[in-house]
Each structure stands twice: as structure tokens, then as C-alpha cells.
């Protein structure tokens, strides 16, 4: 194997997915997922660092994301990292880094407000060490 481009994240949606169609009629959904790393500082106080990930889901996966994912829900995303450059309306060149989703698993059916009432959620299959699953608290920015 000469190279590998793979991203796996588990996080919460910052907003409902937005579904659009290309000029050829191909559906594409975009949404942002927050992952939060929690650490303790020298004084023992909890410090949270949140990263936002731009997700792009094409075709049927995009339609499913738009239909079932909602703001605040926990989701597993697997895909590849892609960057693209474009020129903004102001004429300034910009660069976006996105995860092009190839696999998605909905890990919660509810948002924080109905956390106690939701049904059990499916688990991720495979061998994942506990250290690699981010701890998600209710204070994740939405």
C-alpha cells in the first residue's frame, strides 16, 4: 500500500444537513460535526477543545443524511479528507478541508433535551479502544 486517506469521527451535528443538487441532478448534503477533546489543566480544571468538521455526503448517503440527521444528534462518519481551493465573492482565495463521507452510522435518535427518553443506540462494530472514542458532554456547542 502506498498511501491511505481515511478519516473516522464521532461527534454531534451543529445544524441540520443541507441538501442541494448539482447541475446534473446529483444530490449532495453538507453538514458540520463537532468533536470535543477533554483534558485537565495543571490545576485540575477541565478544558474542552472543540473541532468542527465539514462533512460532504453524495448521492443516496446525502439523501439519508438530510432525512434522518438533525442538530445535536450523535453520528459516526467515515470517509476521506479532501481540500479544495476557491475564490470568494470578495476575490480572496480560500481553502476548505472537508471529509467526503463514505459511511455513516446514526448513534442517537434524539437530541440532548430528550436524552433520557431515547431508545438504546447501536454500537460500532470492530475493535476500537476506549481511548479513541471522544467523551461527549452536554456542553458541546450546538
The predicted-structure confidence for 87-137, as pLDDT tens digits, reads as follows 888 999 999 999 999 999 999 766 554 443 444 444 333 333 333 334 444
CA nearest to 77, candidates 4, 141, 13, 3:
13
Q: Are 38 and 139 in contact (CB under 8 A)?
A: no
Instruction: State residue 30's pLDDT score.
Output: 96
User: Mean pLDDT throughout 49-65?
Assistant: 96
Three-class DSSP category at 90 = coil
Cα 77 versus chain centre, distance: 6
User: Mean pLDDT throughout 44-61?
Assistant: 94
What's the CA gap between 38 and 48, in Å, rounded? Answer: 5
Q: Are 139 and 48 in contact (CB under 8 A)?
A: yes
Question: What structural domains and CATH numbers belong to the chain?
Answer: 7-112 (2.40.50.140)
Reported as type and span, the H/E element at residue 51 is strand 46-58
Higher pLDDT, 19 or 137: 19
pTM of the model as a whole: 0.71
CA nearest to 100, candidates 65, 51, 135:
65
Amino acid at each position: 500500500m502506498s498511501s491511505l486517506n481515511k478519516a473516522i469521527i464521532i461527534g454531534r451535528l451543529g445544524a441540520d444537513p443541507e441538501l442541494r443538487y448539482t447541475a446534473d441532478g446529483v444530490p449532495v448534503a453538507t453538514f458540520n460535526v463537532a468533536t470535543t477533546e477533554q483534558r485537565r489543566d495543571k490545576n485540575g480544571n477541565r478544558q474542552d477543545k472543540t473541532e468542527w468538521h465539514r462533512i460532504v455526503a453524495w448521492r443516496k448517503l446525502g439523501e439519508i443524511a438530510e432525512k434522518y440527521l438533525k442538530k445535536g444528534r450523535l453520528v459516526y462518519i467515515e470517509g476521506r479528507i479532501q481540500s479544495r481551493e476557491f475564490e470568494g465573492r470578495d476575490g480572496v482565495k480560500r481553502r476548505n478541508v472537508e471529509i467526503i463521507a463514505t459511511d455513516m452510522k446514526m448513534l442517537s435518535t434524539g437530541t440532548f433535551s430528550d436524552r433520557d427518553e431515547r431508545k438504546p443506540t447501536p454500537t460500532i462494530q470492530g475493535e476500537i479502544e476506549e481511548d479513541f472514542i471522544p467523551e461527549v458532554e452536554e456542553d458541546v456547542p450546538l
